[in-house]
């Protein structure tokens, strides 16, 4: 006799980048095993596993390759809360006495922080505007790792979708032409491009914990899935 089929509950959330309502489910035991195995891999493999997991648990209804970094992180955190639990144990070092503080954090309180001054249109001059897209999940890792290296221009250029002037839209150019164009920016102009990435929406959890040893109230904002992983 065949065993009964289990029903997996589904939940809803709003996609941070668009406000669209989407459905998701918790990940299953077999998927959780894959996730745990991935923790021992390099960053590229970890992000591949998370992306595939998010795709499966949103019923393959999203254009997963087009989602922003913060969309993937936010969906994953909600999946993690429904699959494993709403709290995770963390450790931080006291700012005053430098002793370790261990505490449980409620990951359901993580939110997507949006800078009111942030824009996807960057005015490089009075007549030239860059149209931007948000970096994908795997691209954001490379940007964080190489933000001060010579490779950063190539990576930032990938998020430029078009160049606008008063009378023309430039969106049919080679990657080499775009890199050469950006390399011709002044320091001030390139700083505007950097600000797009520094101010774009991000998943943040504000933490306040009192040190049991010295009584100092430690405050910090946690960002990145490494703080919420398992």
Could you give the CA distance from residue 194 to residue 110 in angstroms, rounded to a whole number? 25
Could you give the CA distance from residue 134 to residue 14 in angstroms, rounded to a whole number? 17
Confidence of residue 133 (pLDDT cuts 50, 70, 90): very high
Reply yes or no on whether the pLDDT at 147 is more than 60: no
What is this structure's pTM? 0.85
Q: What is the pLDDT of residue 153?
A: 82
Q: SS3 sequence, 129-184?
A: EEEECCCEHHHHHHHHHHCCCCCHHHHHHCCEEEEECCCCEECCCCHHHHHHHHHC
pLDDT in tens, 165-211: 999 999 999 999 999 999 999 999 999 998 998 899 999 999 999 99
More confident residue, 166 or 44: 166
Residue 54: name the closest of 77, 87, 38 by CA: 77
Place of tokens 């035991």: 29
Confidence of residue 45 (pLDDT cuts 50, 70, 90): confident
* Average pLDDT score over the chain: 88
pLDDT in tens, 65-100: 889 999 999 999 999 999 988 998 888 899 999 999
For residue 147, what are the CA distances in angstroms to 139, 144, 152, 191? 12, 6, 5, 12
Q: What is the pLDDT of residue 90?
A: 87
Q: Across residues 102-109, what is the average pLDDT?
A: 91
Range in 43-47, 57-61, 130-134, 210-214 the model is least confident about: 43-47
Could you give the CA distance from residue 50 to residue 34 in angstroms, rounded to a whole number? 10
Q: Are strands 100-106 and 87-93 parallel, antiparallel or unpaired?
A: antiparallel
């Amino acid at each position: 006799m065949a065993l009964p089929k289990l029903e997996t509950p589904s939940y809803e959330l709003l996609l941070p980048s668009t406000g669209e309502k989407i459905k998701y489910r918790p990940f299953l035991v077999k998927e959780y095993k894959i996730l745990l195995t991935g923790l021992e891999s390099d960053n590229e493999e970890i992000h591949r596993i998370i992306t595939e997991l998010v795709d499966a648990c949103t019923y393959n209804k999203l254009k997963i390759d087009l989602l922003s970094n913060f969309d993937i992180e936010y969906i994953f955190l909600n999946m993690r809360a429904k699959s494993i639990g709403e709290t995770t144990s963390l450790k931080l070092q006291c700012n005053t006495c430098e002793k370790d503080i261990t505490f449980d954090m409620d990951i359901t309180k993580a939110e997507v922080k949006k800078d009111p001054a942030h824009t996807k249109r960057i005015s490089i001059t009075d007549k030239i505007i860059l149209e931007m897209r948000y970096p994908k999940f795997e691209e954001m890792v490379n940007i964080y790792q190489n933000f001060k290296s010579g490779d950063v221009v190539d990576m930032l250029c990938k998020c430029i979708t078009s160049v606008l002037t008063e009378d023309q839209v430039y969106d049919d150019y080679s990657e080499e032409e775009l890199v050469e164009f950006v390399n011709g920016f002044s320091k001030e102009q390139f700083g505007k491009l950097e600000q797009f990435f520094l101010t774009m929406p991000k998943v943040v959890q504000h933490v306040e914990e009192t040190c049991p040893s010295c009584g100092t109230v430690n405050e910090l904002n946690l960002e990145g899935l490494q703080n919420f992983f398992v």
